[in-house]
Protein backbone atom coordinates (compact mmCIF):
# COMPACT_ATOMS: atom_id res chain seq x y z
CA UNK A 1 0.00 0.00 0.00
CA UNK A 2 1.43 3.41 -0.93
CA UNK A 3 2.04 5.96 1.79
CA UNK A 4 -0.63 8.61 2.29
CA UNK A 5 -0.08 12.25 3.22
CA UNK A 6 -2.03 14.88 5.10
CA UNK A 7 -4.52 13.98 7.81
CA UNK A 8 -6.51 10.75 8.07
CA UNK A 9 -10.26 10.93 7.48
CA UNK A 10 -12.46 11.57 10.54
CA UNK A 11 -13.07 8.61 12.84
CA UNK A 12 -16.27 6.79 11.74
CA UNK A 13 -19.26 7.37 14.03
CA UNK A 14 -19.50 3.68 14.97
CA UNK A 15 -15.81 3.44 15.96
CA UNK A 16 -15.09 4.48 19.53
CA UNK A 17 -11.29 4.40 19.33
CA UNK A 18 -8.60 5.30 16.82
CA UNK A 19 -4.98 4.33 17.29
CA UNK A 20 -1.90 5.86 15.69
CA UNK A 21 0.29 2.81 15.35
CA UNK A 22 3.00 1.13 13.34
CA UNK A 23 2.50 -2.40 12.11
CA UNK A 24 5.66 -3.79 13.74
CA UNK A 25 5.84 -1.64 16.84
CA UNK A 26 5.61 -3.86 19.94
CA UNK A 27 4.56 -0.93 22.15
CA UNK A 28 1.66 -0.09 19.84
CA UNK A 29 0.78 -3.78 19.77
CA UNK A 30 0.18 -3.65 23.54
CA UNK A 31 -2.59 -1.10 22.99
CA UNK A 32 -4.10 -3.05 20.07
CA UNK A 33 -4.10 -6.22 22.18
CA UNK A 34 -5.87 -4.40 24.99
CA UNK A 35 -8.57 -3.06 22.67
CA UNK A 36 -9.01 -6.51 21.12
CA UNK A 37 -9.31 -8.08 24.57
CA UNK A 38 -12.12 -5.64 25.40
CA UNK A 39 -13.91 -6.31 22.10
CA UNK A 40 -13.80 -2.59 21.32
CA UNK A 41 -14.06 -1.50 17.68
CA UNK A 42 -11.00 0.54 16.72
CA UNK A 43 -9.44 1.86 13.57
CA UNK A 44 -5.73 1.79 12.94
CA UNK A 45 -3.71 4.57 11.33
CA UNK A 46 -0.20 3.32 10.71
CA UNK A 47 2.61 5.87 10.67
CA UNK A 48 6.06 6.20 9.17
CA UNK A 49 8.35 6.66 12.16
CA UNK A 50 11.29 8.39 10.49
CA UNK A 51 9.27 10.78 8.33
CA UNK A 52 6.52 11.26 10.88
CA UNK A 53 3.16 12.65 9.85
CA UNK A 54 2.32 15.97 11.47
CA UNK A 55 -0.81 14.63 13.17
CA UNK A 56 1.44 12.27 15.14
CA UNK A 57 4.00 14.85 16.25
CA UNK A 58 1.14 17.24 17.13
CA UNK A 59 -0.37 14.58 19.41
CA UNK A 60 2.78 13.39 21.21
CA UNK A 61 5.84 15.42 22.30
CA UNK A 62 8.07 12.42 21.54
CA UNK A 63 6.21 11.60 18.31
CA UNK A 64 5.96 7.96 19.33
CA UNK A 65 3.22 5.42 18.83
CA UNK A 66 0.83 4.32 20.20
CA UNK A 67 -1.50 7.28 20.51
CA UNK A 68 -5.10 6.50 21.37
CA UNK A 69 -7.97 8.81 20.51
CA UNK A 70 -11.21 8.26 22.42
CA UNK A 71 -14.09 10.69 23.00
CA UNK A 72 -11.83 13.64 22.30
CA UNK A 73 -9.22 12.32 24.73
CA UNK A 74 -5.64 11.74 23.58
CA UNK A 75 -3.86 8.97 25.48
CA UNK A 76 -0.11 8.51 25.16
CA UNK A 77 2.26 5.73 26.21
CA UNK A 78 1.49 2.05 25.76
CA UNK A 79 1.20 0.88 29.36
CA UNK A 80 -0.92 3.92 30.22
CA UNK A 81 -3.16 3.16 27.23
CA UNK A 82 -3.74 -0.45 28.39
CA UNK A 83 -4.82 0.77 31.82
CA UNK A 84 -7.03 3.49 30.30
CA UNK A 85 -8.79 0.99 28.03
CA UNK A 86 -9.51 -1.28 31.01
CA UNK A 87 -10.97 1.64 32.96
CA UNK A 88 -13.17 3.18 30.25
CA UNK A 89 -14.61 -0.13 29.03
CA UNK A 90 -15.17 -1.78 32.40
CA UNK A 91 -18.16 -3.88 31.46
CA UNK A 92 -17.03 -5.49 28.25
CA UNK A 93 -14.49 -8.08 27.26
CA UNK A 94 -11.75 -9.24 29.60
CA UNK A 95 -10.85 -7.71 32.92
CA UNK A 96 -7.26 -6.62 32.33
CA UNK A 97 -6.19 -5.78 35.88
CA UNK A 98 -6.72 -7.74 39.10
CA UNK A 99 -9.26 -6.23 41.48
CA UNK A 100 -7.17 -6.95 44.58
CA UNK A 101 -4.77 -4.08 45.34
CA UNK A 102 -1.76 -6.31 46.09
CA UNK A 103 -2.34 -8.52 43.01
CA UNK A 104 -2.68 -5.40 40.90
CA UNK A 105 0.61 -4.03 42.29
CA UNK A 106 2.40 -7.34 41.66
CA UNK A 107 1.10 -7.41 38.07
CA UNK A 108 2.45 -3.91 37.49
CA UNK A 109 5.80 -4.85 39.05
CA UNK A 110 6.02 -7.84 36.67
CA UNK A 111 5.45 -5.51 33.74
CA UNK A 112 8.00 -3.01 35.07
CA UNK A 113 10.66 -5.66 35.63
CA UNK A 114 10.08 -7.14 32.17
CA UNK A 115 10.60 -3.64 30.81
CA UNK A 116 13.76 -3.12 32.86
CA UNK A 117 15.35 -6.56 32.50
CA UNK A 118 14.10 -8.27 29.33
CA UNK A 119 13.17 -5.65 26.75
CA UNK A 120 16.57 -3.86 26.64
CA UNK A 121 18.36 -7.20 26.39
CA UNK A 122 16.01 -8.28 23.57
CA UNK A 123 17.12 -5.27 21.52
CA UNK A 124 20.76 -5.75 22.46
CA UNK A 125 20.68 -9.36 21.28
CA UNK A 126 18.90 -8.27 18.09
CA UNK A 127 21.61 -5.71 17.29
CA UNK A 128 24.69 -7.57 18.46
CA UNK A 129 23.68 -11.22 17.78
CA UNK A 130 26.73 -12.48 19.67
CA UNK A 131 26.55 -15.69 21.70
CA UNK A 132 27.23 -13.60 24.77
CA UNK A 133 24.30 -11.23 24.27
CA UNK A 134 21.95 -14.03 23.27
CA UNK A 135 23.09 -15.93 26.35
CA UNK A 136 22.22 -12.95 28.55
CA UNK A 137 18.80 -12.76 26.88
CA UNK A 138 18.12 -16.40 27.69
CA UNK A 139 19.20 -15.79 31.29
CA UNK A 140 16.77 -12.92 31.79
CA UNK A 141 13.99 -14.84 30.02
CA UNK A 142 14.54 -17.70 32.42
CA UNK A 143 14.50 -15.48 35.49
CA UNK A 144 11.66 -13.14 34.52
CA UNK A 145 9.33 -15.28 32.38
CA UNK A 146 10.06 -19.04 32.65
CA UNK A 147 10.34 -19.01 36.45
CA UNK A 148 7.18 -16.96 37.11
CA UNK A 149 5.22 -19.23 34.75
CA UNK A 150 6.60 -22.29 36.50
CA UNK A 151 5.89 -20.96 40.00
CA UNK A 152 2.38 -19.81 39.12
CA UNK A 153 1.55 -23.01 37.29
CA UNK A 154 -1.17 -21.19 35.33
CA UNK A 155 -1.72 -21.15 31.57
CA UNK A 156 -1.12 -17.40 31.38
CA UNK A 157 0.92 -14.84 33.29
CA UNK A 158 -2.45 -13.34 34.21
CA UNK A 159 -3.67 -16.66 35.59
CA UNK A 160 -6.40 -18.76 33.99
CA UNK A 161 -6.82 -16.14 31.29
CA UNK A 162 -4.51 -13.54 29.81
CA UNK A 163 -4.45 -10.05 31.30
CA UNK A 164 -2.36 -6.89 31.34
CA UNK A 165 0.85 -8.78 32.21
CA UNK A 166 0.50 -11.00 29.13
CA UNK A 167 -0.53 -8.04 26.96
CA UNK A 168 2.42 -5.89 28.05
CA UNK A 169 5.01 -8.65 27.59
CA UNK A 170 3.73 -10.76 24.66
CA UNK A 171 4.88 -8.48 21.80
CA UNK A 172 8.55 -9.20 22.62
CA UNK A 173 7.92 -12.92 23.15
CA UNK A 174 6.20 -13.06 19.75
CA UNK A 175 9.29 -11.47 18.18
CA UNK A 176 11.53 -13.80 20.16
CA UNK A 177 9.60 -16.72 18.69
CA UNK A 178 10.09 -15.30 15.20
CA UNK A 179 13.85 -15.10 15.85
CA UNK A 180 13.75 -18.74 16.96
CA UNK A 181 11.98 -19.66 13.71
CA UNK A 182 14.62 -17.69 11.79
CA UNK A 183 17.27 -19.87 13.42
CA UNK A 184 18.87 -16.83 15.05
CA UNK A 185 18.11 -17.89 18.63
CA UNK A 186 17.65 -21.28 20.19
CA UNK A 187 15.02 -21.66 22.93
CA UNK A 188 15.53 -25.20 24.20
CA UNK A 189 12.42 -26.83 25.58
CA UNK A 190 14.42 -28.60 28.32
CA UNK A 191 15.43 -25.26 29.78
CA UNK A 192 12.23 -23.38 28.92
CA UNK A 193 9.35 -25.87 29.11
CA UNK A 194 6.84 -23.34 30.42
CA UNK A 195 7.88 -20.50 28.11
CA UNK A 196 7.78 -22.71 25.00
CA UNK A 197 4.30 -23.99 25.94
CA UNK A 198 3.17 -20.45 26.75
CA UNK A 199 4.29 -19.12 23.37
CA UNK A 200 2.47 -21.93 21.58
CA UNK A 201 -0.63 -21.29 23.69
CA UNK A 202 -0.63 -17.51 23.16
CA UNK A 203 -0.28 -17.87 19.40
CA UNK A 204 -3.53 -19.80 19.30
CA UNK A 205 -5.41 -17.73 21.91
CA UNK A 206 -8.33 -15.70 20.52
CA UNK A 207 -7.60 -12.03 21.00
CA UNK A 208 -3.86 -12.59 20.64
CA UNK A 209 -3.72 -14.76 17.51
CA UNK A 210 -5.42 -12.19 15.29
CA UNK A 211 -2.53 -9.76 15.74
CA UNK A 212 0.34 -12.24 15.36
CA UNK A 213 2.69 -11.68 12.43
CA UNK A 214 4.38 -14.56 10.65
CA UNK A 215 8.08 -15.29 10.99
CA UNK A 216 8.41 -14.27 7.34
CA UNK A 217 6.84 -10.87 8.03
CA UNK A 218 9.29 -10.34 10.89
CA UNK A 219 12.24 -11.41 8.74
CA UNK A 220 11.41 -8.69 6.23
CA UNK A 221 10.83 -6.15 9.03
CA UNK A 222 14.00 -6.94 11.02
CA UNK A 223 16.20 -7.13 7.92
CA UNK A 224 14.90 -3.80 6.69
CA UNK A 225 15.61 -2.22 10.12
CA UNK A 226 19.13 -3.64 10.09
CA UNK A 227 19.71 -2.01 6.70
CA UNK A 228 18.54 1.35 8.06
CA UNK A 229 15.51 1.48 5.74
CA UNK A 230 12.66 0.15 7.90
CA UNK A 231 9.79 -1.35 5.93
CA UNK A 232 7.23 0.01 8.36
CA UNK A 233 4.09 -1.21 6.61
CA UNK A 234 5.08 -4.56 5.11
CA UNK A 235 2.11 -6.85 4.63
CA UNK A 236 -0.17 -4.56 6.63
CA UNK A 237 -3.93 -4.20 6.08
CA UNK A 238 -4.03 -0.68 7.52
CA UNK A 239 -3.62 2.75 5.90
CA UNK A 240 -0.11 4.13 6.20
CA UNK A 241 0.75 7.84 6.57
CA UNK A 242 4.03 9.66 6.36
CA UNK A 243 5.08 13.28 6.68
CA UNK A 244 5.24 15.62 3.72
CA UNK A 245 7.84 14.48 1.19
CA UNK A 246 10.81 16.85 1.41
CA UNK A 247 11.79 18.42 -1.90
CA UNK B 1 12.35 27.61 57.63
CA UNK B 2 12.68 24.37 59.59
CA UNK B 3 9.73 23.20 61.64
CA UNK B 4 9.97 22.35 65.33
CA UNK B 5 10.43 18.67 64.58
CA UNK B 6 13.43 19.39 62.37
CA UNK B 7 15.05 21.59 64.99
CA UNK B 8 14.70 18.77 67.52
CA UNK B 9 16.87 16.39 65.47
CA UNK B 10 20.26 15.43 66.82
CA UNK B 11 23.02 17.09 64.85
CA UNK B 12 25.02 13.89 64.44
CA UNK B 13 22.27 11.49 63.38
CA UNK B 14 21.27 8.35 65.17
CA UNK B 15 23.14 5.13 65.71
CA UNK B 16 23.77 2.28 63.33
CA UNK B 17 22.10 -1.04 64.14
CA UNK B 18 22.58 -4.55 62.81
CA UNK B 19 20.45 -7.61 62.32
CA UNK B 20 16.78 -7.60 61.48
CA UNK B 21 14.24 -4.99 62.55
CA UNK B 22 11.98 -5.92 65.47
CA UNK B 23 8.46 -7.18 64.75
CA UNK B 24 5.84 -4.55 64.06
CA UNK B 25 4.02 -3.12 67.08
CA UNK B 26 0.52 -4.55 67.49
CA UNK B 27 -1.24 -1.42 66.31
CA UNK B 28 0.87 -0.90 63.17
CA UNK B 29 0.18 -2.86 59.98
CA UNK B 30 2.60 -1.23 57.52
CA UNK B 31 6.37 -1.04 57.40
CA UNK B 32 8.57 0.79 54.89
CA UNK B 33 12.22 0.12 54.18
CA UNK B 34 13.47 3.65 53.63
CA UNK B 35 16.61 5.71 53.33
CA UNK B 36 16.48 9.15 54.93
CA UNK B 37 17.32 10.97 51.69
CA UNK B 38 15.85 8.67 49.06
CA UNK B 39 13.30 10.60 46.98
CA UNK B 40 11.76 7.39 45.65
CA UNK B 41 11.14 6.15 49.18
CA UNK B 42 9.79 9.59 50.11
CA UNK B 43 7.00 9.06 47.56
CA UNK B 44 5.79 6.14 49.65
CA UNK B 45 6.06 8.01 52.96
CA UNK B 46 3.98 10.83 51.50
CA UNK B 47 1.34 8.42 50.23
CA UNK B 48 1.09 6.76 53.66
CA UNK B 49 0.94 10.12 55.44
CA UNK B 50 -1.91 11.13 53.16
CA UNK B 51 -3.92 8.19 54.49
CA UNK B 52 -3.53 9.13 58.15
CA UNK B 53 -2.57 5.59 59.17
CA UNK B 54 0.24 4.48 61.47
CA UNK B 55 3.29 3.12 59.69
CA UNK B 56 6.76 2.02 60.72
CA UNK B 57 9.85 3.36 58.97
CA UNK B 58 13.07 1.35 58.87
CA UNK B 59 16.01 3.39 57.60
CA UNK B 60 18.55 1.38 55.65
CA UNK B 61 22.11 1.90 54.64
CA UNK B 62 22.44 1.48 50.88
CA UNK B 63 25.43 0.53 48.78
CA UNK B 64 27.79 -2.31 49.80
CA UNK B 65 26.72 -2.22 53.46
CA UNK B 66 23.01 -2.58 52.85
CA UNK B 67 21.30 -4.95 55.27
CA UNK B 68 20.55 -8.47 54.07
CA UNK B 69 16.81 -8.13 54.76
CA UNK B 70 16.64 -5.46 52.05
CA UNK B 71 18.24 -7.74 49.46
CA UNK B 72 15.94 -10.54 50.53
CA UNK B 73 12.85 -8.37 50.09
CA UNK B 74 13.62 -6.75 46.74
CA UNK B 75 15.44 -8.38 43.78
CA UNK B 76 16.81 -4.91 42.95
CA UNK B 77 18.00 -4.48 46.57
CA UNK B 78 16.58 -0.95 46.61
CA UNK B 79 14.32 1.12 48.78
CA UNK B 80 11.45 1.70 49.04
CA UNK B 81 9.92 -1.63 50.02
CA UNK B 82 6.46 -1.78 51.56
CA UNK B 83 5.44 -4.65 53.83
CA UNK B 84 1.72 -4.96 54.49
CA UNK B 85 -0.66 -7.85 55.03
CA UNK B 86 2.02 -10.41 54.20
CA UNK B 87 2.78 -8.67 50.90
CA UNK B 88 6.21 -7.33 49.99
CA UNK B 89 5.95 -4.60 47.37
CA UNK B 90 8.54 -2.51 45.56
CA UNK B 91 8.69 0.12 42.79
CA UNK B 92 7.78 3.46 44.34
CA UNK B 93 5.06 4.64 41.93
CA UNK B 94 3.38 1.24 42.07
CA UNK B 95 3.43 1.34 45.89
CA UNK B 96 1.78 4.79 45.84
CA UNK B 97 -1.01 3.27 43.73
CA UNK B 98 -1.28 0.32 46.12
CA UNK B 99 -1.47 2.54 49.19
CA UNK B 100 -4.34 4.53 47.72
CA UNK B 101 -6.28 1.36 46.96
CA UNK B 102 -5.43 -0.63 50.08
CA UNK B 103 -6.32 2.23 52.46
CA UNK B 104 -9.40 3.80 50.94
CA UNK B 105 -9.91 6.31 53.77
CA UNK B 106 -8.02 9.54 54.29
CA UNK B 107 -6.88 11.65 51.38
CA UNK B 108 -7.60 10.15 47.93
CA UNK B 109 -4.60 10.22 45.63
CA UNK B 110 -6.43 9.08 42.49
CA UNK B 111 -9.67 10.32 40.95
CA UNK B 112 -12.24 7.86 39.59
CA UNK B 113 -11.67 9.33 36.16
CA UNK B 114 -9.75 7.35 33.56
CA UNK B 115 -8.53 10.30 31.48
CA UNK B 116 -7.25 12.26 34.47
CA UNK B 117 -5.40 9.14 35.66
CA UNK B 118 -3.92 8.66 32.16
CA UNK B 119 -2.87 12.31 31.94
CA UNK B 120 -1.42 12.18 35.45
CA UNK B 121 0.54 9.03 34.66
CA UNK B 122 1.93 10.66 31.53
CA UNK B 123 3.07 13.70 33.51
CA UNK B 124 4.80 11.44 36.03
CA UNK B 125 6.43 9.45 33.21
CA UNK B 126 7.66 12.62 31.50
CA UNK B 127 8.98 13.91 34.86
CA UNK B 128 10.71 10.55 35.50
CA UNK B 129 12.39 10.49 32.11
CA UNK B 130 13.00 14.19 31.40
CA UNK B 131 13.62 15.83 34.78
CA UNK B 132 14.90 13.27 37.29
CA UNK B 133 17.99 12.19 35.29
CA UNK B 134 19.04 15.84 34.93
CA UNK B 135 18.78 16.30 38.71
CA UNK B 136 21.32 13.51 39.25
CA UNK B 137 23.48 14.81 36.43
CA UNK B 138 23.72 18.11 38.29
CA UNK B 139 24.42 16.34 41.59
CA UNK B 140 27.38 14.49 40.10
CA UNK B 141 28.59 17.20 37.71
CA UNK B 142 27.69 20.53 39.33
CA UNK B 143 28.37 22.93 36.48
CA UNK B 144 26.59 25.80 34.80
CA UNK B 145 25.57 23.78 31.74
CA UNK B 146 23.85 21.09 33.79
CA UNK B 147 22.10 23.73 35.89
CA UNK B 148 20.75 25.25 32.69
CA UNK B 149 19.49 21.91 31.39
CA UNK B 150 17.70 21.14 34.66
CA UNK B 151 16.13 24.60 34.77
CA UNK B 152 14.89 24.21 31.18
CA UNK B 153 13.39 20.81 31.99
CA UNK B 154 11.69 22.22 35.10
CA UNK B 155 10.17 24.96 33.01
CA UNK B 156 8.82 22.50 30.43
CA UNK B 157 7.58 19.80 32.79
CA UNK B 158 6.61 21.67 35.96
CA UNK B 159 6.28 25.44 35.54
CA UNK B 160 4.39 25.36 32.22
CA UNK B 161 2.00 22.52 33.21
CA UNK B 162 1.20 24.33 36.48
CA UNK B 163 0.48 27.48 34.49
CA UNK B 164 -1.77 25.57 32.07
CA UNK B 165 -3.63 23.66 34.78
CA UNK B 166 -4.12 26.79 36.86
CA UNK B 167 -5.01 24.74 39.96
CA UNK B 168 -3.25 24.75 43.34
CA UNK B 169 -1.89 21.23 42.79
CA UNK B 170 -1.31 18.87 39.88
CA UNK B 171 -4.20 16.92 41.38
CA UNK B 172 -6.49 19.94 41.24
CA UNK B 173 -7.79 21.46 44.46
CA UNK B 174 -5.75 19.01 46.52
CA UNK B 175 -2.57 16.99 45.96
CA UNK B 176 -2.77 13.70 44.07
CA UNK B 177 -0.47 10.86 43.04
CA UNK B 178 1.13 13.24 40.52
CA UNK B 179 2.17 15.66 43.25
CA UNK B 180 3.37 12.82 45.50
CA UNK B 181 5.45 11.28 42.71
CA UNK B 182 7.10 14.54 41.59
CA UNK B 183 7.42 16.47 44.84
CA UNK B 184 10.56 14.81 46.29
CA UNK B 185 12.77 16.19 43.52
CA UNK B 186 11.01 19.56 43.40
CA UNK B 187 11.51 19.78 47.17
CA UNK B 188 15.24 19.10 46.86
CA UNK B 189 15.71 21.60 44.07
CA UNK B 190 13.71 24.26 45.89
CA UNK B 191 15.48 23.62 49.21
CA UNK B 192 18.94 23.67 47.66
CA UNK B 193 18.44 26.88 45.68
CA UNK B 194 19.71 28.79 48.70
CA UNK B 195 22.85 26.69 49.22
CA UNK B 196 24.41 27.08 45.79
CA UNK B 197 23.10 23.94 44.09
CA UNK B 198 20.96 25.75 41.53
CA UNK B 199 19.90 29.30 40.71
CA UNK B 200 16.15 28.90 40.85
CA UNK B 201 14.67 32.36 40.28
CA UNK B 202 11.15 33.30 41.25
CA UNK B 203 10.83 35.56 38.21
CA UNK B 204 11.24 32.61 35.87
CA UNK B 205 9.37 30.12 38.11
CA UNK B 206 6.51 31.95 39.85
CA UNK B 207 4.17 28.94 39.73
CA UNK B 208 6.82 26.55 41.00
CA UNK B 209 7.62 28.82 43.95
CA UNK B 210 3.93 29.14 44.86
CA UNK B 211 3.51 25.40 44.48
CA UNK B 212 6.53 24.57 46.62
CA UNK B 213 5.35 26.83 49.45
CA UNK B 214 1.89 25.32 49.24
CA UNK B 215 3.22 21.76 49.32
CA UNK B 216 5.57 22.45 52.24
CA UNK B 217 2.59 23.73 54.21
CA UNK B 218 0.34 20.78 53.33
CA UNK B 219 -0.46 18.22 56.01
CA UNK B 220 1.13 14.89 55.21
CA UNK B 221 3.79 16.53 53.02
CA UNK B 222 5.30 18.77 55.67
CA UNK B 223 6.45 15.99 57.98
CA UNK B 224 8.99 14.66 55.48
CA UNK B 225 10.84 17.81 54.39
CA UNK B 226 14.54 18.41 54.95
CA UNK B 227 16.50 21.65 54.94
CA UNK B 228 18.70 22.82 52.09
CA UNK B 229 21.73 22.32 54.32
CA UNK B 230 20.74 18.72 55.03
CA UNK B 231 20.22 17.94 51.35
CA UNK B 232 23.45 19.66 50.36
CA UNK B 233 25.40 17.71 52.99
CA UNK B 234 23.87 14.48 51.78
CA UNK B 235 24.35 15.11 48.05
CA UNK B 236 27.91 16.40 48.50
CA UNK B 237 28.75 13.19 50.37
CA UNK B 238 26.93 11.15 47.69
CA UNK B 239 28.95 12.76 44.95
CA UNK B 240 32.18 12.12 46.83
CA UNK B 241 31.30 8.42 47.04
CA UNK B 242 30.71 8.22 50.79
CA UNK B 243 27.03 8.96 51.29
CA UNK B 244 25.89 10.11 54.73
CA UNK B 245 22.75 8.04 54.45
CA UNK B 246 21.48 8.84 57.93
CA UNK B 247 22.57 12.44 58.41
CA UNK B 248 20.28 14.19 60.93
CA UNK B 249 17.88 11.27 60.89
CA UNK B 250 15.40 10.71 63.73
CA UNK B 251 15.71 6.95 63.56
CA UNK B 252 18.57 4.43 63.54
CA UNK B 253 19.96 3.03 60.35
CA UNK B 254 20.24 -0.72 59.64
CA UNK B 255 23.45 -1.91 58.04
CA UNK B 256 24.88 -5.23 56.94
CA UNK B 257 25.43 -7.30 60.07
CA UNK B 258 28.83 -7.18 61.73
CA UNK B 259 30.19 -10.37 63.20
CA UNK B 260 30.26 -10.67 66.96
CB A14 within 8 A of CB A42: no
The beta-carbon neighbor of A105 closest among B97, B114, B125 is: B97
- CB-count exposure of residue B102 (10 Å: 0-12, 13-18, 19+): buried
Rg (CA), chain B: 18
- What is residue A108's predicted lDDT score, i.e. its pLDDT? 98
- Tell me the average pLDDT across B140-151: 97
d(CA B113, CA B120): 11
Over 60: is that where the pLDDT of B8 sits? Answer: no
- What is residue A114's predicted lDDT score, i.e. its pLDDT? 98
CA triplet B142, B230, B175: central angle to 5 degrees?
95
- What is residue A2's predicted lDDT score, i.e. its pLDDT? 81
- What is residue B2's predicted lDDT score, i.e. its pLDDT? 36
- Tell me the average pLDDT across B63-68: 94
Smallest Cα distance from B42 to chain A, Å: 18
**Tens of pLDDT along B154-164?**
999 999 999 99
Do B101 and A101 lie within an 8 Å CB cutoff?
Answer: yes
- What is residue B1's predicted lDDT score, i.e. its pLDDT? 33
The beta-carbon neighbor of B98 closest among A76, A84, A101 is: A101
Q: Where are the beta strands (DSSP E) in B100-247?
A: none
The ranges of chain A with pLDDT < 70 are 1, 246-247
CB B256 within 8 A of CB B75: no
Q: Which 201-220 residues of chain B touch chain A by CB within 8 A? A: none
d(CA B55, CA B83): 10
Smallest Cα distance from B47 to chain A, Å: 15
Cβ-based neighbours of B87, under 8 Å, separated by 6 or more: A102, A105, A106
- Tell me: ipTM over 0.95: no
- What is residue B104's predicted lDDT score, i.e. its pLDDT? 85
- What is residue A101's predicted lDDT score, i.e. its pLDDT? 97
B75 touches chain A (CB under 8 A): yes
Dump the DSSP string for A169-185: HHHHHHHHHHHHHTTSS
- What is residue A128's predicted lDDT score, i.e. its pLDDT? 85
Do B118 and A73 lie within an 8 Å CB cutoff?
Answer: yes
Catalytic residue annotation of A:
25
Residue to test with chain A: of B85, B98, B118, B153, most A Cβ within 10 A:
B118
Question: In chain A, whose CA is at the least distance from the CA of B85?
Answer: A102
- What is residue B4's predicted lDDT score, i.e. its pLDDT? 33
Dump the DSSP string for B38-59: -HHHHHHHHHHHHHT---EEEE
Chain A residues inside the 8 Å CB shell of B89? 102, 105-106, 109
**Tens of pLDDT along A225-236?**
989 999 999 999
A174 touches chain B (CB under 8 A): no
- What is residue B142's predicted lDDT score, i.e. its pLDDT? 96
Over 80: is that where the pLDDT of B128 sits? Answer: yes
A81 touches chain B (CB under 8 A): yes
Q: Where are the beta strands (DSSP E) in chain B?
A: 16-17, 30-34, 56-60, 81-84, 87-90, 253-254
A113 touches chain B (CB under 8 A): yes
Q: What is Dmax (Cα atoms) for chain B?
A: 60
- What is residue A246's predicted lDDT score, i.e. its pLDDT? 67
Smallest Cα distance from B172 to chain A, Å: 18
B101 touches chain A (CB under 8 A): yes
- What is residue B257's predicted lDDT score, i.e. its pLDDT? 76
- Mean pLDDT score of chain B, rounded to an integer? 92
Smallest Cα distance from B3 to chain A, Å: 35
What is the CA B59 to chain-centroid distance, rounded?
Answer: 13
B87 touches chain A (CB under 8 A): yes
Amino acid sequence: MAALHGDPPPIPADTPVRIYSMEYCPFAQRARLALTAKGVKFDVINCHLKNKPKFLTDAHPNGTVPVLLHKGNVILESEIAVEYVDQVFPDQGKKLYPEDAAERAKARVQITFFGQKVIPQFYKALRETSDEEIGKLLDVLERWVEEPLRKQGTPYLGGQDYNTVDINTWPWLERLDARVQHGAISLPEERFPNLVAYIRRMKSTPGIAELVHSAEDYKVAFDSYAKGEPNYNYNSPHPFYEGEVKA
Amino acid sequence: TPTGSLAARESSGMEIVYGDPPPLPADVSVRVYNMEYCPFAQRVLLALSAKGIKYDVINCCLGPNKPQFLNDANPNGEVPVLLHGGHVLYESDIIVDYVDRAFPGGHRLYQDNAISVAKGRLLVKMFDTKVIPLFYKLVFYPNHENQGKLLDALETWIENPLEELDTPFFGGQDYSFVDVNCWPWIERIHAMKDVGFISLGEERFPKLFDYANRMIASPGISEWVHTGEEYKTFYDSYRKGNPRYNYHAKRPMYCKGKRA
